[in-house]
Amino acid sequence: MSLKNEVVEKLSEIIGNENVITSDEAIRIADPRMVRPYAKAFDYKPEHVPLCIAKVSETGQVSGILKYCNENDIHVIVKTGASSSEDQLLVVDDRTIYLDAAPMDKILEINTENMTVTMQCGVALAVIEGKVNSMGYTLGHAPQSLPLASMGGLVATRSIGQFSTFYGGIEDLVCGMEGVLPNGEVFRIRPVPRRAVGPDLRHLIIGAEGVIAVMTEVTVKLFAWYPELMWKGGYTLKDFETGLALVREIMTKGYKPAVARVYDKVDVDHHYGSVRLEENEAFAFFSVDGPGAVPDVHGAAVHEIALKYGAKYIGTKAVDHWFENRNKNCDTIGTETEYKKFRETKVCEFPIEISSSWDEIGDIYQEIKATVPERIPNIAVFGGHVSHCYVNGTNIYFVASLKIDDPDNAHEEQYSVMDAICDVVLKHKNATIVHHHGVGKSRVRRIKEELGSSYPLLAALKNTFDPNGIMNPGCLIPLG
């Protein structure tokens, strides 16, 4: 019997054959939209495809499948929303199944006394956020991929939302979880407000990109939501560096706007038709969340600091435009509309997000902007913006538009931009090559340099929990 038939027969015993997708056509259609989107526009055929897709709806099924796969050297890539952008879901061999946990979509409890929501890992963020919004609450987690992503992937990629400067990243929001280890064992981490019982075990799973365990259930925090009280303001600035100094002062003085963004001119010209900047100028905008007078009080402070840095107030029109359109590209990304654009323009746009301390971020930005287009002559547009700020530093989200003539070479060309950016970042003491998209199978080629002397800790964790190496091979930890 072929390996595929063997696996399908066994999985059908565990979850029923109606839940095991086997036909080549069905597997092709279910291919995650973010795996090699540019190449796909040009009729790309993946080198490896999954043996089948196993659709699971309860923890016992996940446990049964993992136990079988672990004992039979079958590799497992779990997916939920399939919007991850660093090749996390790329299949790299011929003995892999997709464990599709999207059907695990039950909301188990919305607890407005404890301010928590407990749900299965396949719950779509848009569904749960819409539900709690209608009750006057928010999860405080709003990545640009909100219309696409689900809870499992959001936790597993250590994702961050657009209002993170106030609410934090997913690591600040997850209180507890249930998961299954590769040997089929089920574990629970209770959702307490805080505990001091050894290392924080949630962090074995948050950001582990499905290489250690499958998270089946998660409990996250809930916040009161006051959208009608939000304060907003937009500004033009002398240059991007002034924007960095301005957000640094806002953060280090102790103010916490929910949105704090600074765009360089290239990024503004490319993405914001409505804002006109002179050469070198930058665009910044802020919003403040909170109850009662909080938004106006903090907003007034943000405004005062902005004026101190010579900012010109331009009102809220451009900010409103951003709020209305902030998730719009999810409508077309990885669809025939986008593929058509790729074929017409032969230009592919992709982001690379890094972060660093305040004392290094300005130099990193300058060096990347100066050296990357020199090294990669087919970069058509190369802009950047700040979008997630902390008391000790900030991220920069670079957006590269790359002219790609040979679609078969598209991902290597993208990797070359990534490498050029990583080369600059890795020279610095307090900087990281990944702020929020995860490592996947793209930035994994630089992970040993990134983690340095702490890399063996990550490798040891992987070996301890997944000694047979069945969980998403090549993701987060290099192959071989």
Binding site for ligand FAD (CB under 6 A): 34, 77-85, 88-89, 101, 121, 143-145, 148-150, 152-154, 156-157, 159-160, 209-210, 214-215, 329-330, 333, 436-438, 472, 475
The distance of closest approach from Cβ of residue 395 to ligand FAD in the complex, given in angstroms and rounded to an integer, is 10
- Read off the tokens for 365: 């930005």
The distance of closest approach from Cβ of residue 388 to ligand FAD in the complex, given in angstroms and rounded to an integer, is 9
Whichever of 8 and 208 has its CB closer to ligand FAD, that residue is: 208
Q: Which residue is nearest to ligand FAD (CB)?
A: 153
The distance of closest approach from Cβ of residue 34 to ligand FAD in the complex, given in angstroms and rounded to an integer, is 5
The distance of closest approach from Cβ of residue 136 to ligand FAD in the complex, given in angstroms and rounded to an integer, is 24
The distance of closest approach from Cβ of residue 331 to ligand FAD in the complex, given in angstroms and rounded to an integer, is 10
The distance of closest approach from Cβ of residue 332 to ligand FAD in the complex, given in angstroms and rounded to an integer, is 9
Whichever of 165 and 472 has its CB closer to ligand FAD, that residue is: 472
Whichever of 373 and 478 has its CB closer to ligand FAD, that residue is: 478
Distance from C-alpha of 205 to C-alpha of 465, rounded to nearest angstrom? 11
Whichever of 306 and 421 has its CB closer to ligand FAD, that residue is: 421
Whichever of 12 and 329 has its CB closer to ligand FAD, that residue is: 329
Whichever of 98 and 223 has its CB closer to ligand FAD, that residue is: 98
| Closest among 81, 130, 78 to 107, alpha carbons compared | 130
Whichever of 53 and 156 has its CB closer to ligand FAD, that residue is: 156
Whichever of 41 and 330 has its CB closer to ligand FAD, that residue is: 330
The distance of closest approach from Cβ of residue 22 to ligand FAD in the complex, given in angstroms and rounded to an integer, is 20
Whichever of 97 and 311 has its CB closer to ligand FAD, that residue is: 97
The distance of closest approach from Cβ of residue 280 to ligand FAD in the complex, given in angstroms and rounded to an integer, is 27
